[in-house]
Amino acid sequence: MSIEILSPGLNTTIQDGGRLGFQDKGIPVSGFMDVTSAQLANTLVTNELNTAVIEMTLLGIKFKATQAITIAITGADMQPKLNGKSITMYKAVEIPKDGIVTFKGASSGVYGYIAVLGGFKTPRVLGSKSTYVPAKLGGYKGRILQKGDLLPVLHNTLKAIKSKVKTPNFLLSVELFCVKGPEWDWFSTESKTAFLDTIFTIGKDSNRIGIRLEGNKIVLPKKDEIISSGIIKGTVQITKAGDPIVMMADAPTTGGYLRMVNLTQKSCDLLAQVPIGGKVQFILK
């Protein structure tokens, strides 16, 4: 039992709850960009919360089910269809044998998720099925999905949840809640005020490693770098040019830029779904 990728979309990968416990060895956590959406997809098909799913980026995939399967689609709205007819998102949906599911480009949000009842039968690497493309770790052959890939699905006799949950409204402008980072007190009052008052724009070079923000430059203190120190998803570093970078799922484990604040997990999820050109503002908790 598997699904066949007929069209791979853009930077589509297998992701789960992440590769925990190896950051001290320099291995990123990876995992879901939008944890809330991915876990909700798994909940709808009665999988464990952190079961591996397909994560699509901006442009969805096209696939065929080689056997009947049950799926749930959450996250970015990519107008899914089954054999040409629209599929309801945020609800368990049965896909018949040889059924073809198609997606378009995202009309809202960035990352879309497909959970399959039973999950995907891909190998665990260092305890996780998450794909980390730069090191060719995990997922399906350590890479983004390609046309012709066959993703095995684990058999599961459980019944999917029949209820539909509320569809979230992904916005082009969001407030991001944060707490003070290790070097917060190094910055002047003026720099802190500028950071919190600025409405930043999502930069075009943003990706799974980090979200680059454009706006007012943050004036750095005289001591503008640190010995390479630990960073995690949600860490906001200020580059020497004065631009914030928010570390995301594939972030490296250490960095040398000043760590001004850290986002909450919920805010990381919100940020993940804001497209390039969208607006964000930081709110200190």
35: number of Cβ within 10 Å: 20
Give the pLDDT band (50/70/90) at residue 28: very high
**pLDDT above 90 for 159:** no
Share of the chain above pLDDT 70, in %: 98
- Domain boundary assignment for the chain: 2-152, 173-284
The pLDDT of residue 223 is: 79
Answer yes or no: is pLDDT of 280 > 80.
yes
Residue 54: band (very low, low, confident or very high) from pLDDT cuts 50, 70, 90: very high
Q: Note the pLDDT of residue 155.
A: 74
Residue 53, beta-bridge partner list: 15
Give 162's pLDDT tier (boundaries 50, 70, 90). Answer: low
pLDDT per residue as tens digits for the range 203-222 = 999 999 999 999 999 999 98
Instruction: Give the residue-averaged pLDDT of 31-56.
Output: 97
Confidence of residue 253 (pLDDT cuts 50, 70, 90): very high
Assess whether pLDDT exceeds 70 at residue 156.
Answer: no
Q: What are phi and psi of 135, to 5 degrees?
A: -105, 5
Q: Which region, left, alpha or beta, applies to residue 135 given φ > 0 means left and ψ of -120 to 50 means alpha?
A: alpha
How far is Cα 265 from Cα 278, in angstroms, rounded to an integer? 19
pLDDT band per the 50, 70, 90 thresholds, residue 169: confident
Instruction: Return the closest-CA partner of residue 104 out of 130, 84, 133, 131.
Output: 84
Give residue 63's pLDDT. Answer: 98
Q: What is the pLDDT of residue 164?
A: 72
pTM: 0.94
Residue 157 reports pLDDT greater than 90: no
Q: Which ranges of 115-179 would DSSP assign to H, the alpha helix? A: none
What angle, 0 to 180 degrees and rounded to 10, lies between the N-to-C axes of helices 265-272 and 35-44? 90
Give me the chain's average pLDDT, please. Answer: 95
Q: What is the pLDDT of residues 128-147, one digit of tens each?
A: 999 999 999 999 999 999 99
pLDDT in tens, 68-127: 999 999 999 999 999 999 999 999 999 999 999 999 999 999 999 999 999 999 999 999
Examine the pLDDT at 224 and tell me if it is beyond 90.
Answer: no
Rg, Å, the chain Cα set:
20
Domain 173-284 homologous superfamily, CATH: Cyclophilin-like (2.40.100.10)
DSSP state of 118: T
